[in-house]
Chains A and B, each alone.
Chain A
Amino acid sequence: MKVLIVDDSRAMRMIVRRTLRQAGYENITVEEAANGIEGIDMVAKFGPDLILSDWNMPEMTGLEFLKSLRASGNSVRFGMVTSEGSMEMRGQAEEAGALFLLTKPFGPDDFKTALSAAGF
């Protein structure tokens, strides 16, 4: 499984990587990007099976990133990992095509539940 982690915080990208392993996803290949624009480049180069993206990022937000992917016809499975946990933002993410929205702070069980439901 190839996972693209998109977050402007290097600390958070590392924590997401670590939490994926703790959730039992050991045999994965991970690439990273620091915002939506870098994310679009990485999707073309890396061809991920799953994208885990922050919402609030400079240059291009996670929601804009997701909308851009869908507008270009890309249907890669996409989950938000963000501090934006309100119902309205969950609704926006879902409407744009996100499979789930995980709220920071999170633990391995949160990842396991969300990714299992997404088919991983």
Chain B
Amino acid sequence: MSATTSPPSYDDVIASTCEVWSMMLGVDLDVLSNAPLIEGESITAVVTVTGGWNGAVLVKAGVETALQTGAIMFASDPGETSDEDVRDAMGEIANMIGGSLKDRVGPGHVISIPAVTEGLAYKVYVGHAKKVHEVGFASPDGVVILSVFDVGKPT
């Protein structure tokens, strides 16, 4: 079991997120100085990481941005991309970013299967976790927000 208990760094978050968008979607992201509020309906995909470090990685985007992202992943027209496909794509993105961050943190960590939520007004609670990073990224299709929560040691 790993002795690492620290969450991934800000630089790790940027590197993992940009790498996934670039390699899997062919899209270069710009890092924003502040994570903006996403207004209107949005979709959030979550994976949890357990091991020496315990936390969660959340990827949030507006529905239109998520739809465009899903369409790129499926190589389909946005009009032909189903809600299920969009949820699947966002979940897989969270899975890849979470997996990458997990490996950057150190050995001895396990990642969950992604969970996805969507709607107009919702909150995502991660145990008694503390948000340690919230980074906004600009893509040609809109804003994406990557958040990392630190759960600390499970009681």
Number of residues from B at the complex interface, CB < 8 A? 27
Interface string of B14-33 (1 = CB under 8 A from A): 00000110111000000000
Query: In the complex, what's the smallest C-beta–C-beta distance from A84 to chain B, in angstroms?
Result: 6
Among candidates B70, B111, B113, residue contacting A84 with C-beta atoms closer than 8 Å: B111
Q: Does A107 contact B (CB under 8 A)?
A: yes
Cβ B23 vs Cβ A9 within 8 A: no
Q: Please, which residue of chain B has its CB at the minimum distance from the CB of A61?
A: B113
Which chain B residues border A15 with CB–CB below 8 Å? Answer: 24, 73
For the complex, what is the distance from the CA of A14 to the CA of B92, rounded to whole Å?
12
For the complex, what is the distance from the CA of A95 to the CA of B20, rounded to whole Å?
28
Among the listed stretches A23-31, A45-53, A85-93, which one makes contact with chain B, having 4 or more residues with CB under 8 Å of it?
Answer: A85-93
Given contacts A84-B99, A84-B111, A85-B103, contact A18 B75 (CB under 8 A): yes
Given contacts A11-B89, A11-B92, contact A104 B111 (CB under 8 A): no
Query: In the complex, what's the smallest C-beta–C-beta distance from B51 to chain A, in angstroms?
Result: 10
Cβ A83 vs Cβ B111 within 8 A: yes
Query: In the complex, what's the smallest C-beta–C-beta distance from B137 to chain A, in angstroms?
Result: 15
12 CB contacts below 8 A, A to B, read A8-B113, A9-B95, A10-B88, A11-B89, A15-B73, A18-B75, A56-B113, A83-B102, A86-B102, A86-B103, A104-B99, A105-B100
